[in-house]
Amino acid sequence: MTLDVSRIQARVAELLAEYAIPSASIGVLHGGEFTELAVGVKNVETREAATTGTVYQCGSMTKTWTALAFMQLVDEGKVDLDEPVRTYLPGFAVADPEASAKVTPRHLLHHTNGIEEAYGDPGEGDDVYARMVENIADAPQVFPPGRTHGYSAALGYAILARILEVHDGARWDDIMRHRLFEPMDLTSTNSLHEQVDEARAATGHLIRSLDEGPIVTPVRHLPRAFGPGGNITSTSREVLAMAHLLLNDGMAPSGKRVVSAESIREMLRSRVPIPDPHMFGPAWALGLIVCDWHGETVYATDGSTIGQNARLRLLPDSNTAVVMLTNGGPRESFHHKVFNEILADLGTVTIPDPPAPDATLNLDLSRYEGVYERPGTRYEVSAEGGKPYLTLVLDPTQAEFLHKPDRIRYELLPVSETHFLMPPADPLEDTRTVAIYDFTNGTAQYLHTNCRVNPRQS
């Protein structure tokens, strides 16, 4: 089946208006053929149209790029995924001596290392990743290595980047260009914001209310500390070149081998379970999320910066990849609607609906009640009238900017003994999912949502 591009463009335009997202650039790789389209504007103030050549910030999709470069080191026999990190960084240490000796590259790739992201201010210099590694000598453990899954926004992949830097004797940004961007003939993909052609760049937008509409983000790019985990910018076509590697055993669209077939297979098959399987998928592979769509295995890699978002889905069974880059959101329901329009056109499997709550469950809510907290994030779980509730506590400055209260209360609808739906509190939100789990000591020890884990504090 082929894609009805005109119909998809019209539908995307409708959805952009509905969700107050300024633009989307979409790429589809199906049966070896590339299709691209763009709708909307790069900037709501200039009203300049977005094109298929517009460059967007990819956010945490960057982690998949970094994972691919790291797997090249594995191909070369220079690193082993299951050797301790300190084999390659002899000074590596965190507050817990056992974790210092035990954490491996596989833990970092899986987000099961458990190290708190307490890396201080490493600056914006070329030594940023070396400084991050030095700065975590006193970083505590959120959980013991391998105990559970807890997403690391910056630190985990910065440590992987530092291993690459020590081996190659170059900065991570140059390593990515040498190892991936140039061999793959990518001319619009960069890791430093100074390298981006501003004439082609999308501007990020935030939305505080539907009445106000999207506003230009006050933060134009993430700090350099997020580089290996979040700072690559690219086009939809060049993101699909990465997808091509993953769907074709490490081969670029040009036919050039970039990563070994064995390393690609290892990236796809090495998995750990995600405590909240309903938001994205039930497992995490090496730099990829593993999804279950009606019994078919689909891989995902997503990213968000402050005002831009990237979503990529890989469907190996139908040799298909779909990417969408936007300069507003994120709204998962928007991405799901657009992807399902495209996937239905192609005759492939589509994204499943979220689970339904189970009204027959009779939970002992005292096992869930408590405070679950990480630096910058606090959740309070309570019971009232026999129902569980979650209160999100926002930083007052953030709440003021977003025109939100600093305490937002949600009802939790049980799906199982450990999983809950969290309906939206305002029209700008989607229903989310939450896992509250690990009753080792009689009460839940962790709360997991949006891939982040928060340990019980009280």
**pLDDT tens per residue, range 269-298:** 999 999 999 999 999 999 999 999 999 999
Specify the pLDDT at position 290: 98
Range 9-17 average pLDDT: 98
Mean pLDDT (whole number) for 90-119 = 98
Active-site residue, from 6, 23, 25, 60: 60
SS3 226: helix
In the prediction, which pLDDT does 403 show? 83
Closest CA to 372 of 421, 443, 433: 443
**pLDDT on residue 398:** 84
- Listed in order, strand segments (DSSP E) in 265-416 are 272-273, 283-284, 289-293, 296-304, 309-315, 320-326, 370-374, 377-384, 387-393, 407-411, 413-414
Residue 225's pLDDT band (cuts 50, 70, 90): very high
| Exposed / middle / buried, residue 110 (Cβ in 10 Å: 0-12, 13-18, 19+) | buried
Assess whether pLDDT exceeds 80 at residue 261: yes
- Pairing mode, strands 419-422 and 432-437: antiparallel
Q: Average pLDDT of the chain?
A: 97
Mean pLDDT of 237-259: 98
Q: Give the CA distances from residue 227 to residues 91, 222, 240, 248, 365, in Å, rounded to whole numbers and listed in that order.
A: 22, 8, 20, 26, 41
> Is 436 a residue whose pLDDT tops 90?
yes
Categorize the per-residue pLDDT at 1 as very low, low, confident or very high, splitting at 50, 70 and 90. low
Q: What is the pLDDT of residues 108-119, one digit of tens each?
A: 999 999 999 999
Tell me the pLDDT tens digit for each residue of 119-151: 999 999 999 999 999 999 999 999 999 999 999
Q: Please state, in angstroms and rounded to a whole number, the distance separating the CA atoms of residues 188 and 211.
A: 35
- Name beta bridge partners: 298: 291
The average pLDDT across 232-238 equals: 98
25 is catalytic: no
Q: Give the separation between CA 404 and CA 401, rounded to whole angstroms.
A: 8
Percentage of the chain modeled with pLDDT above 90: 96
2 — pLDDT class (breaks 50, 70, 90):
confident
